[in-house]
Amino acid sequence: MALFSKLFAKLRGGNLSAADWDELRTTLIEADLGAALSDELIAIAKSHKSDDIESAIKIALEAALTKNSRDLAKLDTGTTTILVVGVNGTGKTTSVAKLMSALKQEGKVVVVAAADTFRAAAIEQLQTWGERIGVPVIAGKFQGDPASVVFDAAAQAKELSADYLIVDTAGRLHTKSNLMDELSKIRRVLEKAGSVDEVLLVVDATTGQNGIIQARSFTESVGVTGLILTKLDGTAKGGVALAIERESGLPIKFIGTGESAFDFEKFNSDSYISGLIGS
Ligand SMILES: Nc1nc2c(ncn2[C@@H]2O[C@H](COP(=O)(O)OP(=O)(O)O)[C@@H](O)[C@H]2O)c(=O)[nH]1
Ligand SMILES: [Mg+2]
C-alpha cells in the first residue's frame, strides 16, 4: 500500500503548484479514502510546515479510525451469538467459515446456522466447510424458512453448551425490504432463545465507497456492531477501511485476505496505519 510514502516524498520537495495539489487529491480519492477525508488531509498538509506534515497526517488518519473495541463479543456464561449479514457476494459464507475455523482452533465449541436458504449452493458450501473444520452446521431445506433453521441451531448450541453460535444469512440487495424483514425475524428468534451479541456486517473492500452506504442501511435495519472487510488481497486501495470507519463509526474487527480459511486476521489499526504511511 504505502499510499502516503509517495505523497510525503512529493511534499518534502516543497513548493507545490495547484496542479500538484490536485494530483495529490486525486491519488487519495483513487485510494478510496473518500472526498471528505481526502480534502481534510490536503488541508492539513497545506497548513503545516514540511517537517510537521507527516506527523499531522498520521494523527488525522488515527483520528479517522474508531476507538471502539475490536474484540469479538464474548459472554461470560452461555452461548455468544454472532449474526453475519451483508449484500450478496461480499464474502459472508466464506467469513463464517474463517471465523468458525479460528474459534475452533482456539478450542471453542462452535455451532453454525446455514440460514441462507435462498441459495442451495450456500448451504452445501457451508456444510463442506463444517465437515472439513469439524464444526456442526445446522441447515434446513433449500428455500425453507431461515428462522426455523436458526431456531434449530440455537437449540443445538444449547444442547452442546456451545461457546459460539454463528449465523450465516442471505444477502439479497440491502434495498429490498424483505431481506431486512427476514433478518429482523431471525434476530427475534435468536433473542427469544438467548441474545444476539454481535452483528458483523461483511463489506467487500473492492466495492469502495459503496461499503459506506451498506453500513448505513444495515445499521438502521439490524443494528451492526462491527465489520469484516474482505478481499483486501485483491486491491491496492487500502484507504476504504479508513473511509468506512470514519463515516460509520463501526470498528473493523476482522479482515479477509484470500479465499482459504486461514486468510483471515484481526484488524490491527497500528499496522494498518503503518502500512498506509510506509513506515
Ligand atoms: N480474494 C478473496 N476472495 C474472497 C474473500 N472472501 C470471500 N471471497 C470470495 O468471494 C466470493 C463470494 O464469497 P461468499 O462467501 O460466497 O459470499 P456471500 O454471498 O456474501 O456469502 C467467493 O468466490 C469467495 O471465495 C477474500 O477475503 N479474498
Ligand atoms: Mg453466502
Ligand 1 lining (C-beta closer than 6 Å): 86, 88-94, 171, 202, 230-231, 233-234, 256-259, 263
Pocket test for ligand 1, best of 88, 98, 259, 267 (most atoms within 8 A of CB): 259
Residue at 200 is within a domain: yes
pLDDT tens per residue, range 218-270: 998 889 999 999 998 876 567 888 888 998 999 999 999 999 999 999 999 99
Mean pLDDT, range 137-156, rounded to an integer: 94
Work out which ligand 1 atom sits closest to the CA atom of 86: 20
Three-state secondary structure along 36-85? HHHHHHHHHHHHCCHHHHHHHHHHHHHHHCCCCCCCCCCCCCCCEEEEEE
What is the structure's pLDDT at 233? 85
Same domain flag for 85 and 190:
yes
Residue nearest to atom 1 of ligand 1 (CA): 258
Same domain flag for 57 and 153:
no
Same domain flag for 210 and 152:
yes
Mean pLDDT, range 82-109, rounded to an integer: 96
Same domain flag for 43 and 125:
no
Q: How far is the CA of 249 from the centre of ligand 2 (A)?
A: 25
What is the structure's pLDDT at 121? 86
Work out which ligand 1 atom sits closest to the CA atom of 256: 27
Residue entry with cell 476507538: 67
Residue 233 sits in which domain range? 80-277
Mean pLDDT, range 169-188, rounded to an integer: 83
Q: How far is the CA of 119 from the centre of ligand 2 (A)?
A: 8
What is the structure's pLDDT at 255? 95
Residue at 73 is within a domain: no
Mean pLDDT, range 199-209, rounded to an integer: 91
The pTM (predicted TM-score) of the whole model is: 0.92
Number of residues in the chain: 279
DSSP label at residue 257? -
- CATH label of the domain that carries residue 99: 3.40.50.300
Q: Are 198 and 83 in contact (CB under 8 A)?
A: yes
Using the CB atoms, write b or e for 196-221: b if 16+ within 10 Å: bbbbbbbbbbbbbeebbebbebbbeb
Ligand found nearest the CA of 88: 1
Q: In what order do the strands lie in the sheet with 80-85?
A: 137-139, 110-115, 164-169, 80-85, 198-204, 226-230, 252-256, 264-266
Same domain flag for 52 and 171:
no
Same domain flag for 253 and 117:
yes
- Chain-wide mean pLDDT for the chain? 90
Work out which ligand 1 atom sits closest to the CA atom of 116: 21
Q: How confident is the model at residue 191 (pLDDT cuts 50, 70, 90)?
A: very high
Q: How many domains, the chain? A: 2
Q: How far is the CA of 93 from the centre of ligand 2 (A)?
A: 4
Mean pLDDT, range 53-77, rounded to an integer: 92
Q: How far is the CA of 65 from the centre of ligand 2 (A)?
A: 28
Q: How confident is the model at residue 48 (pLDDT cuts 50, 70, 90)?
A: confident
